[in-house]
Amino acid sequence: MTTLTHTNTPASKHWPLRFDAAWLEPLLVVLTLIGIVSGVLLEWLGVNPMTVLMVHIATYITGGFYAVREIIAALKERRIEVDMLMVLAALGAAYVDAWTDGAILLFL
C-alpha cells in the first residue's frame, strides 16, 4: 500500500506568480480605476454604447470581486455587512444607467 505525503516544495521556477490576495486585490483595484476612467472617456468620446457597456461590466466584475466574496462569507454566518449594501447600491446605479457612479462605489 502506498502512502502519499505532503512535502514543502518551492513554487515552480517557470511560473513565479501565485494567486493570492497580496497582489491580486491591489491589481483589481487598479483595474477598477482604469475601468472607471476608461468608461468616462469612452462615453465622452461617443464610442459605441455596447463597447462602453462592456467596459462598465468588466469594471463591476473587477471592483466587486472581493466585495461579493465578503458578502457570501457574511451570509453564511447570517450577518449583513456594509459590502452587501455597497454592491446593492452599485447594482441599483447600474439599473438606472448610472454605471460610473456604481463603479465608483465598488472602487471605494
| pLDDT tens, residue by residue, 32-46 | 999 999 999 999 999
More confident residue, 8 or 71: 71
pLDDT digits (tens, 9 = 90+) for 42-64: 999 999 999 999 999 999 999 99
d(CA 59, CA 108): 13
What does the pLDDT read at residue 23?
A: 83
* pTM assigned to the model: 0.77
What does the pLDDT read at residue 22?
A: 76
Buried b (16+ CB within 10 A) or exposed e, 72-91: eeeeeeeeeeebbebbeebe
How far from the centroid of its chain's Cα atoms is residue 10's Cα?
A: 29
What pLDDT band is residue 6 in, cutting at 50, 70 and 90? low
